Amino acid sequence: MAHAALPMAHAAPARAGTAYYTTAQAGRGALTYQQFCAVCHGADLGGAFDVPPLVGRFAANWAGAPLGQLFDYMAKAMPLFAPGTLTPAQNADLLAFMLRENGAPAGGRDLTPEGVKTMVFPKMTAATVK
């Protein structure tokens, strides 16, 4: 789902060198993704005919949008077969995984449900987007 369909909130722009998550957190998110998300979005995050991909154009659609907006959408609407059942920590891990798969840099601190409120989805170059 493109972010334009959701009401926009304001967040600080990403700074050069912003680290979004830890590699361990993205790893946890990969496991959670395979358990709850891959059935619809595909093992490679490529989507399907009626399910959007979570890489490529996804990154372009969300670039510059508040991460909190995406996090809130995930928390309320996903997974499709049981919306709102994942914990805030699981959603943060999933978001970390999605960021990693879209080329966002890892750092020394986990992405938190509180932290997403002040961050934006990074603008990725064609070279970093899978």
Q: Where are the domains of the chain?
A: 22-114
Exposure on the CB side of residue 109, measured as CA atoms within 13 A: 9
pTM of the model: 0.83
CATH number for the domain formed by residue range(s) 22-114: 1.10.760.10
pLDDT of residue 71: 98
Q: What pLDDT digit, counting tens, does each position of 92-115 carry? A: 999 999 999 999 999 999 999 999
> How far apart are alpha carbons 115 and 129 in whole angstroms?
23
> In which residue are the tokens 């990969």 written?
30
Helix, strand, coil distribution of the chain in percent, nearest 5: 45, 5, 50
